[in-house]
A and B are shown apart, each in its own frame.
Chain A
Amino acid sequence: MPEITVTVNRAAETVEVPDNMLLSTLLRDVLRLTGTHIGCDTSQCGACTVHVDGQSVKSCTMLAVEADGCSVTTIEGLADGDTLHPMQAAFREHHGLQCGFCTPGMIMAAVAFAERNPEPTDAEVRHGLEGNICRCTGYQNIVEAIMAGARAMQRAGRES
């Protein structure tokens, strides 16, 4: 089995993985980071969204070996200790969830989106969410949370 080194949430992990292991399996079953959810497992729902070298990807549609040498961020890596990431705080503030199953993927998608679009319109947020499915909310509060989260990320960026 190939040995790979992946930086996950700022910690280097060296693991042996089978050639056909998915990145989502590595994160959940090997590294026990179960915040990354498996929803459809057919590349449609986006619950498994994580960042690989700063870009949002569906971790159920990438081989673990392909992440060798990369930096991966999961939902567990967003908060700073007890302080939520501004996008996480915005989802809580605006109630951008009901059952919460899609939320980790939504937030990872939202953070990557807001980094590229610091001042998005409603339509841009909805276009940016095409890879993430929520079956509870009707998206309205998710969109509001992302608009607010993007502004908060900008403020936090200016202050740091």
Chain B
Amino acid sequence: MNPFKLHRAKSLEEATGVFKSADEARFLAGGQTLIPVLKQRLAAPSDLVALAGIDGLAGITVGDGQVTVGAMTRHAHVAASEDVRRLIPALAHLAGGIGDPHVRNRGTMGGSLANNDPAADYPAAVLGLGATVVTDRREIAADDYFQGLFTTALDEGEMITRIVYPVPERAGYVKMPHPASRYCLVGVMVSKGPAGVRVAVTGAGQDGVFRVPEMEARLAENFSVEALSGVKVAPDDLMSDIHSGADYRAHLIGVLARRAVAKAVV
């Protein structure tokens, strides 16, 4: 790793202030992506601002038909939360399938969303459940937040503080994990609730997570597995790599979407 100056921020103001005054700073949340990136010298920031010491950034609260997850909440916490398991079991299931147990003990929801890896799980949760990303300065709707590979609506130095999920009537998430990394070859979140009917796909798109309007229209009429029969997703804008071609990913989207609906209607 290249050398950097590590700041252990005690407050939001301190964290954003240090970020602004540094040459090239990065926020350090759970570090499960950032630290490997630094080790490979794919990034060499002058300063890291660690967020773990800031009170109030971790934890889960419920009320008003919403589940609010602090940005520094670890995946293991989301997966084990009684509130999340009761109100949005699809989200708890998704969190429990990220990476592996050790990664889930460190990785955070805010860190994952700020990174926006095209094969990460949480982007499918936020877009597929119609959540709102709250930062130190504004609220960003899921539909505006994701803007391409590793690209989000966040400005330089803007920090996610929490994510607000409307409690859906029903939701389901199914992924085909890469057998080694457990990242998504394809993952599909379907839901019906205050945010409408949503189908969000991660792991497959060349521009990251995306919605599937044709599936959503069919499910809005009839939220059932049968409603999706015959719906095909074109492989044109999907990723092709050593693990899978675009045509296979396109096929998987159909299969996994039907499985996700089957889970959601149980």
Name A residues whose Cβ lies closer than 8 Å to a Cβ of B.
2, 18-20, 22, 41-44, 46, 49, 55-58, 61-63, 65-66, 109, 112-113, 128, 130-132
Contacts and interface: CB of A to CB of B under 8 A. Distances in A.
B31 A131 contact: no
A43 B102 CA distance: 10
B106 A61 contact: yes
Contacts, number: 74
A46 B76 CA distance: 17
Given A63-B31, A65-B8, A18 B101 contact: no
Interface in B74-113: 76, 99-103, 105-106
B195 interface: no
Given A44-B180, A62-B31, A63-B31, A55 B105 contact: yes
B8 A61 contact: no
B5 A42 contact: no
Contacts of A41: 39
A61 B36 CA distance: 7
Given A44-B181, A56-B101, A66-B50, A19 B5 contact: yes
A61 B32 contact: yes
Contacts of B21: none
A43 B35 contact: yes
B3 A58 contact: no
B12 interface: no
Interface centre among B36, B48, B52, B102 (most CB of A within 10 A): B102
Interface string B135-165: 0000000000000000000000000000000
Given A19-B6, A20-B1, A62-B106, A43 B101 contact: no
B36 A43 contact: yes
Nearest to A25: B1
B102 A58 contact: yes
Contacts of B35: 22, 43, 61-63
Contact of A57 (B6, B38, B106): B106
Given A20-B38, A57-B106, 18 more contacts: A19-B4, A20-B1, A22-B35, A42-B36, A42-B40, A43-B35, A55-B76, A57-B105, A58-B102, A61-B35, A62-B35, A63-B50, A66-B31, A66-B50, A113-B101, A130-B99, A131-B99, A132-B100
19 contacts: A2-B6, A19-B48, A20-B1, A20-B38, A22-B35, A43-B35, A56-B101, A56-B105, A58-B103, A58-B106, A61-B103, A63-B31, A63-B35, A65-B8, A128-B101, A130-B100, A130-B101, A130-B182, A131-B99
